[in-house]
Amino acid sequence: MKTTYIGRDAEAAVADLLKHRGYEVLAQNWRTRTCEIDIIAKKAKIIYFVEVKYRTGESQGNGFEYITPQKVRQMRYAAEVWINDSGWSGDWRLMGAAVSGLDYDQLDLIEI
């Protein structure tokens, strides 16, 4: 299976988990010419910008290890673009999601 499809399936699994936990998923794969955000979700008047990292198993390391300081800067930039485009004036946070397993059954979320 192509990595694009695997990534989309992992993102869908995270979106489902967020919905199950009471988040409203506002967008998936939001993009502009200069940036992208995997998932944008809202809960309790806070917008969450979620980066999803999938690994097939532990041999590749935990997905959180791939959310580097440079990736966090890119996430912050993309969030600011979305905020400016949408006119959002409330609170917002960055979140990382590490997904693993052939059935995307290992999911962990952290605020960054």
Domain ranges of the chain: 3-111
The pLDDT of residue 15: 97
DSSP 8-state assignment for residue 97? E
The pLDDT of residue 38: 97
**pTM for the complete prediction?**
0.90
Burial per residue of 59-84, b for 16 or more beta-carbon CB atoms within 10 angstroms, e otherwise? eeeebbeebeeeeeebbeebbebbee
The pLDDT of residue 4: 61
Q: Can you point out the beta strands (E) in 46-88?
A: 46-55
Residue numbers of the chain with a pLDDT score lower than 70: 1-5, 57-61
Strands of the 46-55 sheet, one edge to the other: 24-31, 36-43, 46-55, 91-100, 106-111
The pLDDT of residue 100: 86
What architecture (CATH level 2) is domain 3-111?
3-Layer(aba) Sandwich (3.40)
The pLDDT of residue 103: 79
The pLDDT of residue 84: 97
